[in-house]
Amino acid sequence: MGIFDTFLGNAGKKKETLTPFLPKDIYEAAKLDFADIIAPSALKITPREMNLGDKLVRTFYVISYPRFLSGTWFAPIINRDRVLDISIFIHPVDTAAILRKFQKKVAEVQSQIMTRQEKGMVRDPMLDTAYQDIEQLRNQLQQAQERVFDVGLYISIYGTDQEELDKTEAEMRSILDSKLVYIKPALFQQEQGFKSVIPIGDDQLAVNSKMNSAPLSSFFPFISFDLTSDKGILYGINRHNSSLILFDRFSLENYNSVTFAKSGSGKSYGTKLEILRTLMFDTEVIVIDPESEYEYLANAVGGRFFNISLSSENRINPFDLPVAREDESPADILRSNIINLVGLFRLMLGGLTPEEDAIIDRAITETYALKDITGANDFTNMEPPLLSDFELVLAGMEGSESLVQRITKYTKGTWSGFINRPTNVDINKKFVAFSVRNMEDELKTIAMYIITHFIWNAVRKDLRKRLLVIDEAWWMMKSEDTAAFLYGMAKRGRKYYLGLATITQDVEDFLKSPYGLPMLTNSSIQILLKQSPTSIDAVQKTFNLTEEEKYLLLESDVGEGIFFAGLKHVAIKIIASYTEDQIITSDPSQLLAIAQQKREASE
């Protein structure tokens, strides 16, 4: 028995009763079923519609289709900003039986054509077209290229009053009539029509039309004028029409994305969900994690998690050099690395004058030369210098006294253990996360720059499908050198099959950087989740949002927002399965519950 039968009186009651279980009935039965909870407070069936509590519902069926159906004919109905239910019933028809009917129909049409010819009448285009269509479909059926189905399409619309219901009906009729698709209300069959639409799989109206496979495919309900693709991962659900937002970032003109959201709006949750699904498509993922939010995910998928701090055993030498590829010369590799190191020292030393910049540049070149690393030879297997080697070279140069004093804290002071050691980090795994949570705030930007530079060298070494995620990217946008390096990765990453995903909650700091807007324009995907009132105006101006979209971002729940791809965008809701949620959640209450379950299981 379906839920609707419960509306009409529940088990044991007669169908003519037009009210659901009353509180008295529930009390006497001493039982409250799920159907009693969701049933409307009252029910009334009229010839043209039904009253479900305080809502009116009217059900229609399609009676006629045009000769050709375009692939998007149904989209305007699905994308309508109205509450409606759609049910599509597809009943396969035996091909042999259809072919026998076609044989008879072909004979009838041929007979009519021949009769008109014998009488000297003008040819009838409709008869000729019908004959061609039948013959073509018969051939396709015989070759198993097509099948025939009985198809029923039913639509239920809702309203709070008669006026709203009539307005919705007029809008729907106007759209469908323009497509030469005609509908009728299920007069005196509203009960059967509603039962046919609710998800119990019972076609009680049985108003079907014969249709072959090709036009039937145009009925596919998960279509949208907004965004979807035939491959990729599921980013979420279209909040407007419940269609699926499927996208493959590696099929776009570049593979980059940016995510803007306030704290607690689900940006890390959505990113971890994308990572989990991306890993299933043979993609390597590397994360720079400021808050150690990705440690559990790394352990769950068999990846590696590196804690980068002054006291950790994980170290990266910024003087490491990438291996030159066949299309790159060692001289270009060395020159590019020196430029990046000058930017790093500018960050470490709190800025450089033009004279100090030249001294640092020359000192780096001479430091590499001490290890026989020059642009004229192959330095693939050579041991790179350390920061202490650079300090010795710098100390012997004229005018470097101030620079040596400032760099001492990185070689002999409290911070010496961070970057004055050989690299011992291996990122040869499908998933790798670097955490800088325990790094002092003063050094966090420097640490993220060094890690990003190390990853960039690894990316250039081997051409693989990779995604680099930089959480809280505003740390790197604070400095012009780190922002410039990040922008360079965004522009050049496609050449090395690298997608760059930047995530930030500090929208204004990101956009204030001279590289903020260029980063946006070099990102094919942009995701906006819930925004704070203080930053919404800047976001609205940057993304050309309407007033409705602005308030949507202010009022969104966790995991809701707007998904941009190119010039199109949709309202998105990020949804994870139970298993995915257990792996990626950052909710402290959920984490405590999971930890408690583990303790109980081990006892």
Q: Does the reported pTM lie above 0.75?
A: no
Q: Is 577 exposed, middle or buried, given 0-12, 13-18 or 19+ CB atoms closer than 10 A?
A: exposed
The CATH number given to whatever domain includes residue 299 is 3.40.50.300
Same domain, 30 and 130: no
pLDDT value for 23:
57
DSSP-assigned letter for residue 524: S
Cβ atoms < 10 Å from Cβ of 281: 12
pLDDT in tens, 340-363: 899 889 888 888 888 988 999 999
Q: What's the pLDDT at 4?
A: 42
pLDDT (0 to 100) of residue 377: 78
Of 253, 340, 305, nearest in space to 522 by CA:
253
174: containing domain? 46-86+151-209
The candidate with the shortest Cα–Cα distance to 20, out of 1, 2, 35, is 35
Residue indicated by tokens 């693709």: 229
Question: Mind giving me the DSSP string for 106-175?
Answer: HHHHHHHHHHHHHTTPPP-HHHHHHHHHHHHHHHHHHTTS--EEEEEEEEEEEESSHHHHHHHHHHHHHH
**Do residues 393 and 492 share a domain?**
no
299, part of any domain:
yes
User: Which tokens is 415 given?
Assistant: 């911070």
- Is position 218 within any domain? no
Cα separations in angstroms, 232 against 235, 245, 278, 325, 464: 9, 9, 8, 30, 17
Question: Is residue 236 within 8 Å of 277, Cβ to Cβ?
Answer: no
Of the candidates 455, 202, 528, the one whose C-alpha atom is nearest the C-alpha of residue 447 is 455
Any domain includes 437: yes
What CATH number corresponds to the domain at position 407? 1.10.8.730
Check residue 279 and give its pLDDT. 92
pLDDT value at position 164? Answer: 92
Number of C-alpha atoms within 13 angstroms, CB side, residue 552? Answer: 19
Examine the domain organization and report whether 257 and 158 are in the same domain: no
Query: Which of 546-561 are b and which e, b meaning 16 or more Cβ less than 10 Å from the residue's Cβ?
Result: eeebbebbeebebbbb
Long-range contacts of 595-600 (CB under 8 A, 24+ apart): none
Measured CA distances, 281 to 187, 307, 439 (Å):
51, 27, 33
* Count of structural domains, the chain: 5
Q: Same domain for 387 and 526?
A: no
515 and 598 in one domain? yes
Positions in the chain short of pLDDT 70:
1-32, 222-228, 413, 587-588, 590-591, 594-595, 598, 603
Are 182 and 296 members of one domain? no
